[in-house]
């Protein structure tokens, strides 16, 4: 990769939680960091904090919402007006819902934000990613250990199960990322997946009883205790693998890999590598978007 101070790094959902802490660590390397978020007030507060705590004046805020196709396209357009090159795209923005919800495009919300958005944003930003010659995309996963993809349940067709629907959407994203890595490799763009680990964030603290299926509801007091507000300490710890993936030279030329919370390479569930599974996911994305990237 280029010298740290010459890099431009984009991190979606970078105004809070693990995303904010990831932006903090990346900004400390001297890179230009563009953080995206939906709320301007929260975003401006995050930008000011990032600049103050890192001393990096090149932290910029870009407002955008990745919950819809139009929102992703608008964010991509806003980013390309700010920069002619992107060295690293960190797809960190995620969604965890307690109740069934659909996007303005009529898509199940976990699929829309956790699967379709990172795919479409990568495609829309491909011209500025290619401009670097060796750009990288880092997709942030979540949930538990790598699990199977059910191609008949990509948008909770078998029933909404809250936390489990979120976890499955991340498995779907992992398989999508394997397909994306193959597609973008000829363009000099790598795609890897990172699991940051569990942390107390606004998203995890929002989990309610309705978001837990069956007997898991009994575990809500444990979840509330485990994810109690800790002032960002667990989020800072969880962000270490993202910061590493965005900045290390160890990933130069490396693509289609998965790294755990300790930045150790490990394997995804076999379904993530299954070409038929990947084709089903890409078909669902194409149907949802009408086939185009922008």
Total count of domains within the chain = 1
The pLDDT tens digits of the residues spanning 188-203 come to 999 999 999 888 787 7
In a domain, 9, yes or no: yes
**Mean pLDDT computed over 19-40:** 97
The pLDDT tens digits of the residues spanning 213-267 come to 787 787 778 777 767 888 889 899 999 999 999 999 999 999 999 999 999 999 9
The pLDDT tens digits of the residues spanning 74-101 come to 999 999 999 999 999 999 999 999 999 9
In a domain, 183, yes or no: yes
Task: Please tell me the predicted confidence (pLDDT) of residue 160.
Answer: 95
Q: How open is the CA angle 17-18-23, to the nearest 5 degrees?
A: 105
In a domain, 180, yes or no: yes
Integer Cα distance of 5 and 153 in angstroms? 44
The pLDDT tens digits of the residues spanning 137-147 come to 999 999 888 99
Cβ neighbors of 180 (< 8 A, separation 6 or more) are 119, 122, 137, 191
Which CATH number do you get for residue 185?
3.40.50.720
Task: Please tell me the predicted confidence (pLDDT) of residue 1.
Answer: 60
* Marked catalytic residue, from 95, 166, 258, 273: 166
Task: Please tell me the predicted confidence (pLDDT) of residue 19.
Answer: 96
Task: Please tell me the predicted confidence (pLDDT) of residue 166.
Answer: 95
258 is annotated as an active-site residue: no
Residues facing 61 on adjacent strands: 35
Confirm if 63 and 40 have CB atoms less than 8 A apart. Answer: yes
pTM of the model: 0.93
In a domain, 33, yes or no: yes
Percentage of the chain modeled with pLDDT above 70:
98
Task: Please tell me the predicted confidence (pLDDT) of residue 101.
Answer: 97
Instruction: Print the domain residue range for 108.
Output: 4-289
Closest alpha carbon to 216 in 161, 260, 175, 255 = 161
Tell me how crowded residue 1 is: count the other CB atoms within 10 A of its CB: 19
In a domain, 294, yes or no: no
């Amino acid at each position: 990769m280029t010298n740290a101070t010459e890099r431009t790094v984009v991190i979606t959902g970078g105004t809070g939680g693990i995303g904010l802490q990831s932006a903090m660590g990346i900004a400390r390397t001297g890179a230009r960091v563009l953080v995206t978020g939906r709320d301007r007030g929260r975003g401006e507060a995050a930008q000011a904090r990032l600049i103050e705590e890192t001393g990096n004046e090149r932290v910029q805020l870009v407002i955008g919402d990745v919950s819809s196709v139009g929102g992703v396209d608008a964010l991509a357009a806003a980013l390309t007006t700010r920069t002619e090159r992107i060295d690293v795209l960190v797809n960190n923005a995620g969604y965890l819902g307690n109740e069934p919800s659909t996007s303005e495009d009529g898509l199940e919300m976990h699929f829309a934000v956790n699967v379709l958005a990172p795919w479409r944003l990568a495609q829309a930003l491909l011209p500025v990613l290619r401009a670097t010659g060796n750009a990288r995309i880092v997709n942030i996963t979540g949930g538990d250990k790598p699990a199977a993809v059910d191609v008949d349940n990509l948008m909770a067709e078998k029933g909404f199960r809250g936390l489990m629907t979120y976890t499955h959407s991340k498995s779907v994203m992992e398989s999508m990322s394997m397909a994306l890595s193959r597609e973008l490799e000829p363009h000099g763009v790598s795609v890897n997946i990172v699991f940051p680990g569990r942390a107390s964030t606004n998203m995890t603290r929002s989990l309610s009883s309705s978001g837990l299926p069956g007997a898991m509801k009994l575990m809500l007091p444990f979840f509330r205790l485990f994810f109690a507000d800790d002032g960002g300490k667990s989020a800072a710890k969880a962000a270490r693998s993202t910061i590493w993936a965005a900045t290390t030279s160890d990933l130069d030329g490396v693509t289609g890999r998965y790294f755990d919370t300790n930045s150790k390479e490990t394997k995804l569930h076999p379904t993530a590598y299954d070409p038929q599974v990947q084709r089903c996911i890409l078909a669902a994305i194409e149907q949802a978007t009408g086939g185009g990237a922008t």
